[in-house]
């Protein structure tokens, strides 16, 4: 017994010593990690010498980390902004440039090679390098100052940003061409699907009966709310003699369901197959001074983009001597795009501006006609031309490289081969030298509506709805970014340009751009839907406009307020009323008859929940989620039947990619033409109940109660750091808390699980102190920074914070070296 006790004491002593050593190692490891992570934190206070400055630059941060950068000349201020981007956001801008250049795999490994292959076809790095080489001196001076500031900010860190420690690599310095790549990255985000959309139309045009194609390819709906009030005609339902779906056998209509999306953790966090509906968004509007409480024009902007940590935007206020008015300080406040030296949206005291994606038609698919004499040539208006071939080397951080051959034509790279075996080239604005420049930075020196519009028309950005207000109480709209001058076609379908009867003839001049200035209503609104009709619409084309429901709700909200203040516009930004789905809720209740509910108790529960409808996409509403799912499932079932013959040719075809599908869908659901009913069903009631049963099966898979399937259980917003996708254990430190939020598509408060408002601002030029701004996450990209997520709660809760930076909390002085 004593021997056993001694053995136990020894064992216990060994265990305690081992445990103590393990705890010490764990603590030491944590302290080591925190120390090394802390070394890459941005400097918040003190003096730093950097090369290239002409004079001292003062950087004052408020409690949210929003800086005021004050210098004695514009180049020094650009250098100061670059310094902050290098300190706070370098890993973010590294990802931006690599995404646009097709070089992500060099940083993160071979898993990114598929994405790099898709992007490298555009050869954006080569294009950026050529543009920088030809840049005018004034733009090049600011660019060089900004670039040197970024690298000075990176060098001033005691250690590289923490992401490089995790990846086991070193950051590469920033360059001038990298800033242009940041612009190209926005093209990929905002216009990158143009060729796919035109291909969908081409398939439908070639493979469907003409009357059915015209019906499904509707260019507008009753939801449209253009500024000029011009509505487009709604195509008629095809007559039975033009197309009769009932004449086809049911076996011909068997179509594959879409693949399920990648699973998210937890059953209710996962949008079901039925519930998926791609986010589309951005809102802005302006109210003339005659219709505001204080007499100054108001501008509101909330740009909807994919959520990430850090946020895409970096807030800043730039202050420098006004070159147009000696003795006056020019102050420009708003959001900057890390990687670029300009304030992209904001106010300069005289003019306030914002933008939304225009969804005009900025791409064309050109059918290539082969030269019968030479298989390596194609026909052009100037005779046969040989293909140009470029060898692009793709490298991966974890070893290996491959060569991608990019084949180019005079119109752009060879993009794909269509269903008839014809090669097609992609003609895209982004491939032209006009696509990217730094003209947008000159918005900061404009003083009225017309000056700002002219600068916007000349800017090299993806074409945006540019909404502007000036301090004289005036408002207007135009397009920011290059617009091609088409001839011989409207860009709706792929076509051959070989004979010279179709194509692009250069670019529109500012005086040719569509503009709306001081409309009679005193209001401007844009929401990614069609903005104008007539000749202006012909210039813009249609690159996939959103349905007009969101714009209509915004317009009606603006018109309902005779004298608007800042808070009135915030209320519209946060409007989550589900007006778009009201008629679908009524249809669902009509379908759920006593006979239908008696046949399945789940249907009875569905009807009971539908009657709890509160008319909003609120997080506690099961009714909203159920009505939404019913519409989406019915949409898929109806259109898959009508377009089944296309899927026989191209299984990847999705009619739901097109923007105006609601018009044809509601016509079918409300008029219920027998000849367009899927022959699997005896009548439209049976079709409707099939959609009802499908959503019930889908939502109740795995058990639980239907009442638990609230919109909040579905709309769990995840704002994640790129590394947390591969390091789930670090999610609690890197990501924002996952939270349910109200809002959805087709209403002003657009909100999805990974998509929504990247900022909200309301400002009156000259009254910036009365404006507000908030955005998700925070200013810093470093999880140990106090500014990593300290703006997130205000954004989630829709609480206004000041548009201008607040009281100074930290000060950094940059001095010439």
Task: Determine the 3-state secondary structure of 31 from DSSP.
Answer: helix
- Per DSSP bridges, beta strands 46-50 and 810-816 are parallel
Distances (CA, A) of 154 to 70, 174, 700: 20, 9, 52
Average pLDDT over residues 565-593: 98
Cα 392 to chain centroid, rounded: 28
Distances (CA, A) of 180 to 28, 97, 435, 635, 796: 43, 8, 10, 41, 32
Look at residue 192 in the predicted model and tell me its pLDDT: 87
Q: Which residues pair with 577 in a beta bridge?
A: 616
- Per DSSP bridges, beta strands 772-774 and 760-763 are antiparallel
pLDDT greater than 90 at residue 720: yes
Look at residue 376 in the predicted model and tell me its pLDDT: 96
Look at residue 16 in the predicted model and tell me its pLDDT: 63
Eight-state DSSP code of residue 413: B
The Cα–Cα gap between 679 and 245 comes to 7
Strands, E assignment, 508-564: 515-517, 523-526
Identify the H or E element spanning 246.
Answer: none
Look at residue 11 in the predicted model and tell me its pLDDT: 63
Look at residue 35 in the predicted model and tell me its pLDDT: 66
Cα 629 to chain centroid, rounded: 23
642-698 pLDDT tens trace: 999 998 888 888 887 777 999 999 999 999 999 999 999 999 999 999 999 999 999
Joined together, the tokens standing for residue 511 give: 């005086």
- Per DSSP bridges, beta strands 314-321 and 755-757 are unpaired
Gyration radius (Cα) of the chain, Å: 28
pLDDT greater than 80 at residue 33: no
Q: Is the peptide bond before 310 cis (omega within 30 degrees of 0)?
A: yes
The Cα–Cα gap between 174 and 538 comes to 41
Look at residue 37 in the predicted model and tell me its pLDDT: 85
The answer to whether the CB of 218 falls within 8 A of the CB of 675 is no
Q: Taking the complete model, does pTM exceed 0.75, yes or no?
A: yes
Alpha helices of 441-515 — where are they, by DSSP H?
Answer: 449-458
Q: Confidence class of residue 193 from pLDDT cuts 50, 70 and 90? A: confident
Q: Confidence class of residue 254 from pLDDT cuts 50, 70 and 90? A: low
Cα torsion 364, 223, 188, 256 to 10°: value is: -80
Summary mean pLDDT of the chain: 92
pLDDT greater than 50 at residue 25: no
Q: Confidence class of residue 274 from pLDDT cuts 50, 70 and 90? A: very low
Look at residue 262 in the predicted model and tell me its pLDDT: 32
359-377 pLDDT tens trace: 999 999 999 999 999 999 9
Q: Confidence class of residue 267 from pLDDT cuts 50, 70 and 90? A: very low
The Cα–Cα gap between 57 and 156 comes to 16
Q: Percent of the chain, pLDDT > 90?
A: 86
The answer to whether the CB of 570 falls within 8 A of the CB of 761 is no
76-135 pLDDT tens trace: 999 999 999 999 999 999 999 999 999 999 999 999 999 999 999 999 999 999 999 999
428-457 pLDDT tens trace: 999 999 999 999 999 999 999 999 999 999
DSSP 330-350: EEEEEEE-TTSSSEEEEE-SS
User: Tokens 């993009």 map to which residue?
Assistant: 415
pLDDT greater than 50 at residue 259: no
Joined together, the tokens standing for residue 798 give: 């829709």
The Cα–Cα gap between 305 and 605 comes to 36
Cα 22 to chain centroid, rounded: 47
* Residues whose CB falls within 8 Å of the CB of residue 683, separated by 6 or more in sequence, listed in order: 674, 677
Q: Percent of the chain, pLDDT > 70?
A: 92
The Cα–Cα gap between 180 and 187 comes to 11
Count CA atoms within 13 Å of residue 83 on its CB side. 27
Look at residue 127 in the predicted model and tell me its pLDDT: 97
* Residues whose CB falls within 8 Å of the CB of residue 444, separated by 6 or more in sequence, listed in order: 318, 330, 332, 342, 343, 348
Identify the H or E element spanning 100.
Answer: helix 90-101
145-182 pLDDT tens trace: 999 999 999 999 999 999 999 999 999 999 999 999 99
Q: Which residues pair with 526 in a beta bridge?
A: 284
Joined together, the tokens standing for residue 627 give: 């009505």
The Cα–Cα gap between 719 and 94 comes to 19
The Cα–Cα gap between 217 and 136 comes to 44
Look at residue 536 in the predicted model and tell me its pLDDT: 97
User: Tokens 């032209």 map to which residue?
Assistant: 432
Q: How far apart are the first and last CA of the chain?
A: 78
């Amino acid at each position: 017994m004593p021997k056993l006790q001694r053995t136990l004491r020894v064992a216990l002593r060994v265990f305690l010593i081992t445990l103590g050593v393990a705890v010490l190692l764990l603590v030491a490891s944590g302290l080591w990690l925190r120390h090394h992570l802390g070394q890459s934190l941005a400097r918040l206070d003190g003096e730093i010498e950097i090369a290239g400055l002409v004079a001292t630059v003062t950087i004052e941060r408020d409690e949210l980390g929003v800086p005021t950068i004050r210098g004695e000349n514009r180049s020094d201020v650009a250098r100061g902004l670059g310094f902050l981007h290098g300190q706070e956001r370098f890993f973010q801008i590294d990802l931006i440039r690599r995404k646009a250049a097709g070089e992500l795999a060099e940083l993160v490994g071979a898993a990114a090679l598929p994405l790099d292959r898709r992007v490298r076809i555009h050869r954006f790095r080569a294009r950026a390098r050529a543009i920088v080489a030809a840049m005018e001196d004034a733009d090049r001076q600011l660019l060089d100052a900004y670039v040197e500031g970024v690298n000075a900010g990176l060098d001033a860190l005691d250690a590289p940003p923490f992401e490089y420690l995790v990846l086991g690599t070193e950051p590469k310095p920033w360059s001038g061409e990298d800033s242009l790549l940041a612009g190209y990255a926005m093209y990929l985000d905002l216009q990158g699907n143009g060729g796919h959309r035109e291909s969908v139309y081409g398939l439908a045009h070639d493979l469907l009966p003409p009357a059915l194609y015209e019906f499904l390819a509707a260019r507008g709906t009753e939801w449209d709310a253009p500024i000029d009030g011009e509505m487009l005609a709604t195509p008629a339902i095809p007559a039975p003699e033009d197309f009769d779906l009932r004449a086809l056998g049911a076996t011909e209509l068997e179509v594959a369901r879409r693949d399920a999306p990648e699973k998210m953790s937890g059953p209710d966090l996962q949008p079901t197959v039925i519930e998926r509906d791609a986010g589309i968004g951005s809102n802005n509007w302006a109210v003339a001074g005659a219709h505001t409480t204080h007499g100054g024009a108001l501008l509101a902007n909330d740009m909807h983009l994919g959520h990430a940590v850090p946020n895409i935007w970096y807030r800043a206020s730039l202050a420098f001597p006004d070159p147009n008015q000696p003795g006056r300080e020019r102050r420009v406040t708003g959001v900057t795009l890390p990687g670029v030296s300009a304030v992209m949206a904001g106010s300069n005291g005289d003019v306030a501006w914002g933008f939304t994606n225009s969804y005009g038609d900025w791409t064309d698919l050109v059918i290539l006609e082969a030269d019968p004499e030479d298989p390596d040539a194609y026909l052009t208006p100037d005779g046969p031309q040989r293909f140009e071939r470029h060898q692009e080397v793709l490298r991966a951080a974890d070893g290996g490289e491959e060569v991608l051959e990019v084949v180019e034509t005079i119109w752009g790279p060879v993009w794909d081969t269509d269903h008839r075996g014809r090669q097609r080239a992609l003609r895209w604005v982004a491939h032209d030298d006009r696509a990217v420049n730094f003209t947008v930075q000159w918005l900061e020196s404009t003083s009225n509506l017309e000056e700002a519009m002219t600068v916007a028309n000349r800017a090299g950005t993806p074409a945006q709805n540019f909404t502007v207000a000036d301090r004289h109480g005036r408002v207007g709209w135009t397009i920011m970014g290059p617009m091609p001058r088409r001839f011989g076609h409207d860009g709706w379908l792929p076509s051959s340009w070989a004979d010279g009867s179709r194509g692009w003839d250069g670019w529109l001049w500012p005086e040719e751009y569509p503009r709306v200035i001081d409309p009679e209503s005193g209001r401007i609104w844009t929401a990614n839907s069609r903005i104008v009709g007539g000749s202006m619409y012909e210039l813009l084309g249609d690159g996939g406009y959103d349905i007009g429901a969101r714009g209509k709700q915004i317009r009606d909200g603006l018109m309902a307020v005779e004298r608007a203040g800042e808070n009135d516009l915030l209320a519209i930004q946060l409007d989550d009323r589900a007006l778009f789905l009201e008629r679908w809720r009524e249809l669902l209740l009509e379908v759920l008859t006593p006979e239908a509910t008696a046949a399945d108790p789940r249907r009875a529960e569905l009807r009971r929940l539908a009657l709890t409808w509160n008319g909003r996409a609120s997080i506690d509403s099961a009714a909203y989620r159920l009505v939404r799912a019913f519409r989406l499932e019915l949409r898929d079932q109806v259109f898959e039947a009508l377009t089944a013959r296309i899927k026989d040719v191209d299984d990847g075809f999705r009619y739901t990619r097109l923007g105006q599908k609601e018009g044809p869908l509601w016509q079918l659901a409300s008029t219920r033409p027998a000849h367009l009913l899927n022959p699997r069903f005896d009548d439209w009631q049976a079709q409707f109940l099939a959609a009802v049963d499908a959503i019930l099966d889908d939502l109740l898979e795995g058990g639980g109660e239907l009442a638990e399937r609230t919109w909040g259980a579905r709309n769990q917003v995840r704002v994640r750091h790129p590394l947390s996708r591969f390091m789930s254990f670090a999610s609690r430190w890197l990501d924002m808390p996952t939270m349910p939020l109200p809002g959805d598509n087709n209403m002003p408060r657009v909100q999805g699980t990974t998509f929504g408002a990247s900022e909200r601002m309301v400002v009156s030029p000259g009254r910036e102190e009365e404006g507000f701004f908030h955005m998700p996450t925070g200013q810093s990209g470093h999880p140990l920074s106090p500014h990593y997520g300290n703006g997130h709660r205000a954004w989630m809760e829709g609480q206004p914070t000041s548009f201008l930076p607040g009281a100074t909390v930290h000060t950094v002085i940059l001095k010439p070296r």
